Structures are given as C-alpha cells and as structure tokens.
Amino acid sequence: MFSEALLCLALVAPAFAAPAPQGITLSDSTKQQPITMCGTAQNIVLTDTPWIVYNMFYNQGQTKGSMCTGYKSVSTGSDGNKNIEWSAITDIDYVQATNNVPKGYTFVGLTQNLETKLSAISSIPATYDWTRTNTTAYKGNICFDFMTSDTKGDSTSSSAQELMLWLNYTGGQLPIGWTAGPKATISDLYGTSWKLYQGVNTDTGITVSSLLPDEQFTGSFQGDIKDWLLAMVKVGVFTESTYVNVGNAGTEPFYGKATVNATLGLQINL
C-alpha cells in the first residue's frame, strides 16, 4: 500500500492538501518508454517491479518555476535484483520568502512487501547512485524516507513515525528538531557516524526522526536499510514489532536549476 503522507521534511514544512493521484499503471516495464512527469501528483506504477515513480509537486502554488520527474528504464543487476533509472529536473527560482519551504518531492516508492512487521523482514537491500548538476545556487537533499507504526497500514495518524536517512544535503537545509540539538549519536552505520534529530511536524502531528551523517555520501550508497531501522530500535524510537508501512528514496528540492540522475535498487525481502 502506498501512502502520500510521506515527505522528506525540512525545518519549516508547509501545510498542504494531498493531491489527487494522476497516474498510470503498467504491467510490463520493458514496454514503457521514458516519460517525464511535471504535474502536482503524476506517477507511474510498474507492477512487475517493486516501485512507483512519483512527481509530488505539493507546493507548486508557492513555486516560481517547475519540478519534474523522469522515468528512464528498469534493468536487472548482477545480484539478480532490479534497478530503476530516474531523474529529477528542477528549475525553481530563489524567492526569499519561501527559500526554506520544500517545493515537492521527486522519488521512487516501494509498493511490495509493505505493512509488514520489522521483525518479519529479512533484509531491505538498497543501492542508490546519483549525480547532481546544478547551474545556479541549489538547496535540497538526497534521502531515504520510511514510515512505521504499531498499527498496520497507518502512515497518517500522530501515532505513525516518519524516518529520514539523509545521504547528502546542500544549501542550508535543516531537519525538523534541529534547534533542540541531536537526541542521540549512532556510530559506525554504513561506514560513518550519524546524529539523530527529532521533532513533530506541526502540519501532520507525526514525529520525524532524521539521521544526518557526520560525513556526507557523495554520489553513492549501498547498505541494508533494515540496519538503519534496527538502529532506531536501539535508541528507542520504536520496537521490532512496528510495521514498516511506507518506504521510498528520492530528492527534495527547495530552489535552483538542477538535474539529478539516479539509479536505485530497493526492495523488501521477507
């Protein structure tokens, strides 16, 4: 089950109404030609893969410019897992009044093996490779965004938890809870140490737990996402009996003219 509640959230997250889906569903990704989506909620579901590709332009009304998501292709890697190529293309003017407002989220989301207890998941292998080319000043991030809850399928109530793993960020973007300082430090996860920031998104009532690396990733990430979730268990964010209800990887632009080209491998193994 896919939920539109998930967002990579900044220090100041604007209120918004979830847009009505504007999507297509395809059962054979090999027959899908590259497509670019620039609407407020355009998406493509590839049912022979674990993914939905989504252009969630939720703050289009506060944006001077455009945000688009491009689907390119699906391939099978040497490990037998599928990979998806996609892109985020932004041409967003800097406006001082809204420079700290995220304009949207362009991402690839999971559609399979969700709403499963963490304890029942064997692994969540992930590879995320990206390049960003910007021709103006740019603000945004590269992240994973998951949502869990003690209730199966819940990703909208205040009992849900939003989890962010920031791989790379630039332009001064800050997580919710930044002003309160880090709640915990996690050492030696994916080869670096991390600081945990927590705060409530006042628009949704959901607590957001964001891990920021002491050493940012520069274009490549590989790891088992379950290790991140278990690290959250160790610091008391939730227990292994929580349900993993939403999972995705994407980029969240604030302003700038830029193109992010990415290849993602992400799946939940039971």
Task: Write the pLDDT tens digit of every residue in 209-260.
Answer: 999 999 999 999 999 999 999 999 999 999 999 999 999 999 999 999 999 9
Tokens of 101: 């407002």
Task: Write the pLDDT tens digit of every residue in 128-139.
Answer: 999 999 999 999
Q: Residue 22: what pLDDT?
A: 63
Q: Residue 9: what pLDDT?
A: 39
Residues 255/258/263/266 CA torsion (nearest 10 deg): 0
Q: Residue 28: what pLDDT?
A: 86
* Domain map (residue ranges) of the chain: 22-266
81 close to 258: Cβ distance less than 8 angstroms: no
Q: Residue 24: what pLDDT?
A: 81
CB atoms near residue 42 (< 10 Å): 21
| CATH for the 22-266 domain, from 2.60.120.180, 2.60.120.260, 3.40.50.300, 2.30.110.10 | 2.60.120.180
143 close to 8: Cβ distance less than 8 angstroms: yes
* Pairing status of strand 207-213 against strand 161-170: parallel
CB atoms near residue 61 (< 10 Å): 10
Distance of CA 123 to CAs 225, 229, 242, 246, 251, Å? Answer: 7, 11, 15, 15, 23
107 close to 262: Cβ distance less than 8 angstroms: no
Indicate left, alpha or beta for 78 from its phi (over 0: left) and psi (-120 to 50: alpha). Answer: alpha
CA distance 88 to 260: 5
Q: Mind listing the pLDDT tens digit of every residue in the chain (270 residues)?
A: 334 334 443 333 333 333 344 678 888 888 888 999 999 999 999 999 999 999 999 999 999 999 999 999 999 988 888 999 999 999 999 999 999 999 999 999 999 999 999 999 999 999 999 999 999 999 999 999 999 999 999 999 999 999 999 999 999 999 999 999 999 999 999 999 999 999 999 888 999 999 999 999 999 999 999 999 999 999 999 999 999 999 999 999 999 999 999 999 999 999
HEC secondary structure over the chain: CCCCCCCCCCCCCCCCCCCCCEEEEECCHHHCCCEEECCCEEEEEECCCCEEEEEECCCHHHCCEEEEEEEEEEEECCCCCEEEEEEEEEEECCCHHHCCCCCCEEEEEECCCCCEEHHHCCECEEEEEEEEEECCCCEEEEEEEEEEECCCCCCCCCCCEEEEEEEEEECCCCCCCHHHCCCEEEEEECCEEEEEEEEECCCCCCEEEEEEECCCCCCEEEEEHHHHHHHHHHCCCCCCCCEEEEEEEEEEEEEEEEEEEEEEEECCEC
Distance of CA 236 to CAs 6, 107, 199, 240, 269, Å? Answer: 21, 28, 15, 10, 24
